[in-house]
Structure 1
Amino acid sequence: MLICARKLFYYENNKAVRAIRRRFIWSSLYSTGAYSARSTQKHRVLFLGTDLYSLYALRPLLAHLTNSDVARISHLGVCSKFAEPGCEVAKQLKLRGTLDNISLVNYSPQRAPVDWDVGVIASFGSLIPPSFIKSFPYGIICIHPSLLPRWRGAAPLMRTILAGDTVSGTTLFHISPEKFDTGPIISQEKRNVPPQVTSHQLGRMLMELGVEMFLDTLKNLPEAVENAVAQPTEGVTYAKKIRQAETFVDWNWPADYIDRFFRALGEDFGVRTMWDDQIVKINGIVEPAIVHKARIDELVSDGSFPGSLFFHKKRDILFVKCRDGWVGITALYMPNRKPMNAKDFYNGFLSPNKNKRLYFEANANCLAKSLKIRAGYKSSN
């Protein structure tokens, strides 16, 4: 009878019918002693992910499989957009070499997978169609690195750091079709945001936490799914996708915000400024405590303004004036040149005999200039 119920499920679209079916299956397991309040039942799990942040969840899932004594997963599948050049999941599985007991499923919104109990998704980047979600008896559970409904959307980690949030966390929720990050919450755990954390570091911390929460959910999956609660209507904020215009520093910002800006965007998007009508990418900055110890204001005349540059020869740091202090830069990159440290940039462009501008442009007009420069490059090629 259980087998018949499983086959019939794929033809059922009514939510109430699916709920009755779940209760029937699990009540049968309870009555036969096959399932207890803290079950040893294992599940067939299909993981969905694509980018680096999804790897922070996939790796501990793969590690979990190696511990047969506590494993809650009988079989793991990995569903991704394997043909896309930027698919980090494909690169990871290729490096891993052995794929014993792991099924690979190439994602197609028109083709729903079969024979999986539950899906778990982390940083997938695409809306999942209803037919795909309904193919899982227990739906798809999302690991989201924020305390929903705060920071719904594509860039929760970056927005968390940019906003200066001191507390974040991970939410497990049942995904809903047609809207991102709005489904009912299964569980949620808070964590303090570590000082000086970057997006990658925070992402790894919260995704690994999410995997622990998911594995705990598998101990009593039907009850966890049934008891999921709707997200609050208050406190909703949106983590909009980071766009090119947001990657340029405005040196009129305070030093604390520029520090958060670099930690939030630097690893994935890069942080940029304009110098002498050229785009400069900032590849490294120093922590605010080091800037404070340097006491740059005591070494520079009062004529400095946001964007002004001062190279500290003993520390090999290029300091940039901002609204309320200085920011220290250690590494830079310019188009058609090798990456440079601060000393290389000073010797090549800023030393007294170079007669070059001693400031970075301070305002948001940098984007307009950069687009014109890029257009010029294309027209000359």
Structure 2
Amino acid sequence: MVSLILSRPITKKLNLSRFKPYGLRLYSTKKSNPLRILFCGSDDFSIASLRAIHAEHKRDPDLIKSIDVLCRPGKPAGRSLKQIREVPIKAVAQELGLPLHERDTFTGWNLPKSNDESINLIVAVSFGLFVPPRILKVVEYGGLNVHPSLLPDYRGPAPLQRMIMRREKASGVTLQTLDDKSFDHGKILAQEWFPLEPEAMTYQKLLETVMPKAAKILVDGLQNRLFVPPLVEDTRWQYKLPQKLTHAAKITPKDKKVYWYTKSAAVDIPARQNALGRLWTTVLV
């Protein structure tokens, strides 16, 4: 039995002229206290949002007074596990001169003070840890999250990869509250829809498309004080969600295995390669 690896993304141009992307922008006269944000993040997707709210902090300190960053500690990496692989957002927080906190659990941990003042809003973007109720309930404005899908479709940790694998023709970004019971079940405060080119879309291309949209919907939500009660759910979607919703489950090695003899192999294999990169299979010899 031999393992084969497929590594080159497959792309093909698709005419999407009939689609008209639609973005939602809400305006509010709500007022809030200056925000002292605890930003919880990890990767490039969350870094884009952190940079955006940091720029807004510099532009309007009356809106955002301070930003602390929370990330998970680095993990041993390499064959000997002697190197520590740091979470990418750590270097960005240090670059921006923001207070940095590293935790792998909320157990036994209390929110930090910002210049002797309490954090009053938590923003979690691609963080990976569940923010517990005891933390959320002591924060004046609770928590916000940006998710790279039109929720409730594609709840879960791998929405971008799953969309590409399923050859979706449209998606979006969602600004929601942090739910105190489970991931991706908060109140939907704002959404933006946009078209996809399923045959030409790779993970990196979709990530680069989604990052600025997610950062913008977050900043717009802060500017419009969408986090201030009473919370108003955004139901004005231009894109109609399917009757059967998709769960964006975590990617596993099994997802990267090629099954040659399925009816849909001709389209499934390129889509998986575009979403996941290198694939593997087995053949009898």
Higher helix share: 1
Instruction: Specify whether residues 69 and 126 from structure 1 end up closer, same or farther in structure 2 by C-alpha distance, changes over 3 A only.
Output: closer
Deviates more, 1:136-145 or 1:55-64: 55-64
Q: Which amino acid aligns with 1:37?
A: T
Matching of residue 273 in structure 1 with residue 277 in structure 2: no
Cα distance between partner residues in 1 of 2:202 and 2:85:
19
Q: Which amino acid aligns with 1:272?
A: W
CA deviations 1:268-313 (Å, max 9, x no partner) are xx3212367xxxxxxxxxxxxxxxxxxxxxxxxxxxxxxxxxxxxx
Aligned to 1:175: 178
CA deviations 1:155-174 (Å, max 9, x no partner) are 11111111111110001111
Aligned to 2:137: 134
CA deviations 1:203-229 (Å, max 9, x no partner) are 232232122111111123266552233
Aligned to 2:68: 77
Cα distance between partner residues in 2 of 1:88 and 1:139:
31
Deviates more, 1:249-258 or 1:155-164: 249-258
Instruction: Specify whether residues 166 and 61 from structure 1 end up closer, same or farther in structure 2 by C-alpha distance, changes over 3 A only.
Output: same
Cα distance between partner residues in 2 of 1:69 and 1:223:
17
For the pair shown, which has the larger CA radius of gyration, 1 or 2? 1
Q: Which amino acid aligns with 1:118?
A: L
Is the contact between residue 48 and residue 215 of structure 2 (CA under 8 Å) also seen in structure 1? no
> Unpaired runs of 5+ in structure 2?
1-27, 78-83, 113-117, 236-240
Is the contact between residue 75 and residue 86 of structure 2 (CA under 8 Å) also seen in structure 1? no
Matching of residue 161 in structure 1 with residue 159 in structure 2: no
Aligned to 1:340: none
Instruction: Specify whether residues 57 and 209 from structure 1 end up closer, same or farther in structure 2 by C-alpha distance, changes over 3 A only.
Output: same
Write out aligned runs for 1:347-366 (5 A): none
Deviation at 1:235, TM superposition (A): 4.5
Aligned to 2:106: 109
Aligned to 1:48: 40
Cα distance between partner residues in 2 of 1:258 and 1:172:
32
Q: Which amino acid aligns with 1:76?
A: I
- The alignment-based identity, stated in percent, is 28
Deviation at 1:200, TM superposition (A): 2.7
Cα distance between partner residues in 2 of 1:234 and 1:62:
38
Write out aligned runs for 1:89-238 (5 A): 90-94=87-91, 98-100=95-97, 102-107=98-103, 108-110=105-107, 111-114=109-112, 115-195=118-198, 196-221=200-225, 225-229=229-233, 235-238=244-247
Is the contact between residue 47 and residue 77 of structure 1 (CA under 8 Å) also seen in structure 2? yes
Cα distance between partner residues in 1 of 2:86 and 2:56:
17
Is the contact between residue 39 and residue 219 of structure 1 (CA under 8 Å) also seen in structure 2? no
Cα distance between partner residues in 2 of 1:43 and 1:207:
23
Is the contact between residue 143 and residue 177 of structure 2 (CA under 8 Å) also seen in structure 1? yes
Q: Which amino acid aligns with 2:99?
A: S
Cα distance between partner residues in 2 of 1:197 and 1:224:
37
- Bigger RCO (CA 8 Å, 6+ sep): 2
* Aligned pairs, number: 237
Deviation at 1:37, TM superposition (A): 2.1
Q: Which amino acid aligns with 1:236?
A: L
> Unpaired runs of 5+ in structure 1?
1-35, 277-356, 358-381
Cα distance between partner residues in 2 of 1:133 and 1:88:
29
Instruction: Pick the aligned partner of 2:270 from 255, 259, 274.
Output: 259
Aligned to 1:68: 59
Cα distance between partner residues in 1 of 2:243 and 2:153:
9
CA deviations 1:298-342 (Å, max 9, x no partner) are xxxxxxxxxxxxxxxxxxxxxxxxxxxxxxxxxxxxxxxxxxxxx
RMSD of the alignment, in Å?
3.2
Is the contact between residue 189 and residue 226 of structure 2 (CA under 8 Å) also seen in structure 1? no
Deviates more, 1:224-233 or 1:111-120: 224-233
TM-score norm. by structure 1 comes to 0.55
Matching of residue 244 in structure 1 with residue 248 in structure 2: no
Secondary structure of 2:127's aligned partner: coil
Is the contact between residue 36 and residue 64 of structure 2 (CA under 8 Å) also seen in structure 1? yes
Is the contact between residue 51 and residue 123 of structure 1 (CA under 8 Å) also seen in structure 2? yes
Is the contact between residue 144 and residue 207 of structure 1 (CA under 8 Å) also seen in structure 2? no
